């Protein structure tokens, strides 16, 4: 599938639930969200109806995300069926790691391409303050299991002023001891409260902070559609990277579309919902009709996240309803 700007769309990010066992303050309020009811979620049957369609439209890469994907019952079974169907060149998962450790052997068996583990700090108390849950050891168990099974692992850390700046160095140093890619993400205004504040830790600040402590960062060739700029550091097994999610420097090569837990398709992280695939499926639309609507939505894509945001009502969502 090509969009109206000539960009190939081959990557689907599928958020299978909005529910989460953490309450990261940059993502949702302490009270959680107004969770979708079970019948408002795309069912697994509906997801498994849509995936072959996306595959036939040229989606090669699939990411499962949420909310927390391992919170949804029988996610492991869905994952197993989808992985064994061989419809995608790569399947990846984004997880907070709280419930993930017992499933790591299965991820290995299914040849899951990589796991993004969200971890904003290596300090147990600070972890509890950021996520409002005291479960740091569970996440570390998942990291250990991923390493023990040789699964490619990326750590995603949102760096926030006055919260976890002191973690930039320890997190970056994880890439010395372990063969992992540690990526620092600019905070985005998807906190479920519509709260928008200046972000100190942007791409520029993060690069400066990393270079101050680690010396020169050496840019390494990234995949053509990567959201992260990656750097190697002498003596490190892994890499560090920056995801300029707020500055939106990567929009020009964006190959991604998203499906929310309720089946809304988004063609831009910052854009509005473009197409209600859940409603379309339930109206008994034919496969051809659905494919046509997906292609049309992709042909209405805004040039970048700035344009997409300008064309919609103010951002009020939580990232848990978009998937990251």
Cα–Cα distance for residue pair 195/305, rounded to 1 Å: 18
Residue 136 interacts with ligand SAM (CB under 6 A): yes or no: no
Residue 158 interacts with ligand SAM (CB under 6 A): yes or no: yes
Tokens representing residue 86 in the block? 């061989």
Per the CB < 8 A criterion, the answer to whether 113 and 79 are in contact is no
**58 or 152: whose CB is closer to ligand SAM?**
152
**Which of ligand SAM, ligand SF4, none sits in contact with 174, Cβ below 5 to 8 A by type?**
none
**Which of ligand SAM, ligand SF4, none sits in contact with 28, Cβ below 5 to 8 A by type?**
ligand SF4
Please list the helix, strand and coil fractions of the chain in percent, rounded to the nearest 5, in that order: 35, 20, 45
Cα–Cα distance for residue pair 45/294, rounded to 1 Å: 19
The residue assigned the tokens 């998937």 is 323
Residue-wise burial string across 160-175, b where 16 or more C-beta atoms lie within 10 A, e elsewhere: beebbeebbeebbbbb
User: From the list 99, 245, 280, 281, which residue makes contact with ligand SAM (rule: CB under 6 A)?
Assistant: 245
Rounded least distance, CB 102 to ligand SAM, Å: 17
Rounded least distance, CB 221 to ligand SF4, Å: 29
Cα–Cα distance for residue pair 155/31, rounded to 1 Å: 26
Residue 242 interacts with ligand SAM (CB under 6 A): yes or no: no
Site string for ligand SAM, 183-222 (x = CB under 6 A): --x-xx-xx-------------------------------
Residue 95 interacts with ligand SAM (CB under 6 A): yes or no: yes
Residue 103 interacts with ligand SAM (CB under 6 A): yes or no: no
Distance of CA 115 to the CA centre of its chain: 10
* Bridge partner list, 94: 116
**139 or 298: whose CB is closer to ligand SF4?**
139
**Which of ligand SF4, ligand SAM, none sits in contact with 290, Cβ below 5 to 8 A by type?**
none
**Which of ligand SF4, ligand SAM, none sits in contact with 263, Cβ below 5 to 8 A by type?**
none
Query: Using the 8-state DSSP alphabet, how is residue 299 labeled?
Result: T
**Which of ligand SF4, ligand SAM, none sits in contact with 23, Cβ below 5 to 8 A by type?**
ligand SF4
Rounded least distance, CB 68 to ligand SF4, Å: 5
**Helix (H) or strand (E) segment spanning residue 256:** strand 256-259
Tokens representing residue 132 in the block? 């409002």
Rounded least distance, CB 96 to ligand SAM, Å: 4
Per the CB < 8 A criterion, the answer to whether 104 and 146 are in contact is yes
Cα–Cα distance for residue pair 319/306, rounded to 1 Å: 17
Residue 324 interacts with ligand SAM (CB under 6 A): yes or no: yes
User: Which runs of E-coded beta strand occur in 189-236?
Assistant: 218-219, 228-232
Site residues (vs ligand SF4, CB under 6 A): 20, 22-24, 27-28, 66-68, 96, 118, 319-320
**1 or 22: whose CB is closer to ligand SAM?**
22
Secondary structure, 3-state, 179-240: CCEEEEECCCCCECCCCCCCCCCCHHHHHHHHHHHHCCCEECCCCCCCCEEEEECCCCCCEE
Cα–Cα distance for residue pair 239/226, rounded to 1 Å: 14
Residue 83 interacts with ligand SAM (CB under 6 A): yes or no: no
Q: Which residues bind ligand SAM (CB under 6 A)?
A: 20, 26-27, 65-68, 94-96, 118, 156, 158, 185, 187-188, 190-191, 245, 319-320, 323-324
């Amino acid at each position: 599938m090509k969009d109206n700007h000539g960009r190939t769309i081959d990557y689907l990010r599928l958020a299978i639930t909005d529910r989460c066992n953490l309450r990261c303050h940059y993502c949702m309020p302490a009270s959680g969200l107004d969770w979708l009811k079970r019948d408002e979620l795309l069912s697994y049957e509906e997801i498994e109806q849509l995936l072959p369609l996306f595959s036939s439209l040229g989606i090669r890469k699939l990411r499962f995300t949420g909310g927390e994907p391992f919170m949804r019952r029988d996610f492991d079974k869905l994952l197993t069926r989808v992985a064994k169907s061989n419809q995608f060149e790569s399947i990846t998962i984004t997880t907070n790691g709280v419930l993930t450790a017992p499933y790591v052997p299965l991820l290995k068996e299914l040849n899951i391409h990589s796991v993004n583990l969200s971890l904003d700090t290596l300090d147990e108390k600070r972890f509890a303050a950021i996520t409002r849950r005291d479960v740091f050891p569970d996440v570390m168990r998942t990291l250990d299991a991923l390493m023990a099974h040789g699964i490619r692992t990326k750590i995603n850390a949102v760096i926030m002023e006055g919260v976890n700046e002191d973690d930039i160095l320890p997190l970056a140093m994880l890439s010395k001891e372990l063969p992992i890619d540690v990526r620092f993400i600019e905070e985005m205004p998807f906190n479920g409260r519509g709260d928008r504040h200046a972000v100190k830790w942007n791409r520029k600040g993060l690069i400066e902070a990393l270079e101050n402590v680690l010396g020169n960062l050496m840019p390494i060739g990234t995949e053509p559609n990567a959201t992260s700029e990656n750097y190697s550091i002498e003596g490190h097994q892994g890499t560090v990277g920056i995801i300029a999610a707020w500055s939106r420097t990567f929009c020009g090569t964006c190959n991604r579309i998203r499906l929310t837990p309720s089946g809304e398709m988004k063609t831009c992280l910052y854009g509005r919902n473009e197409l209600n695939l859940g409603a379309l499926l339930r109206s008994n639309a034919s496969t051809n009709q659905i494919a046509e609507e997906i292609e049309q939505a992709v042909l209405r894509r805004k040039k970048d996240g700035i344009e997409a945001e300008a064309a919609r009502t103010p951002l009020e969502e939580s990232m848990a309803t978009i998937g990251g």
